[in-house]
Copies of this chain bind each other. A is one copy, B any other.
């Protein structure tokens, strides 16, 4: 088999964030798969990529439904993987777009988890600029430096946010909108309210940036919101963007 299945990280929204490698692969795809997992994500990834795609490329919008029953979720991922395998059997070059980096919280990995062994040597993954790398560059603050550590935390029911704030120098909090009140309370309790930046709809026309969240509650927080905590605070770094 000379054709391949490509996972392609396309960055966060700016088409200039595509790498040369991603562009060269987009140009040779016969089929492009656009995952529909999170709101608008698919259309953003497609819009970034489409100027490089062949005129006659086949576009498949693939749903990864967040069904309640984990067995149903897995069955959906397996069915999607069978679609990919069939396209590879037909000799096609197939690309799977992911917003941000292809190996950081992406649906692409659900295909890798389920693909049969005989296809595993026909897979190539292309990294992309992650949402947190994009944020730190656009607002000109370091993600992590020197002897510091950086943790990426997807907040869930079991997350001990106070412990995380205590243990790590820099934290990227994902899934902020669902857990905003819990997060805010932990920041207040640990005296860290001044040590954050929060960005909603990063890079879009509707982008909003907050260094102060004291007047916000859960319903003010859009779905696409990321918060970064920095133990030393943002006072010096704010001067680059405010």
Contacts and interface: CB of A to CB of B under 8 A. Distances in A.
Contact of A240 (B112, B133, B137): B112
Contacts of A143: 101, 103-104
A129 B113 CA distance: 24
Contacts of A103: 133, 136-137, 141-144
A118 B173 CA distance: 32
B23 A17 contact: no
A226 to B, nearest CB: 14
Number of chain copies forming the complex: 2
23 contacts: A9-B133, A16-B21, A16-B24, A17-B20, A18-B20, A19-B19, A103-B142, A125-B136, A125-B137, A126-B137, A127-B129, A127-B133, A127-B134, A128-B129, A130-B133, A144-B152, A146-B154, A147-B154, A149-B151, A149-B152, A149-B153, A149-B154, A151-B168
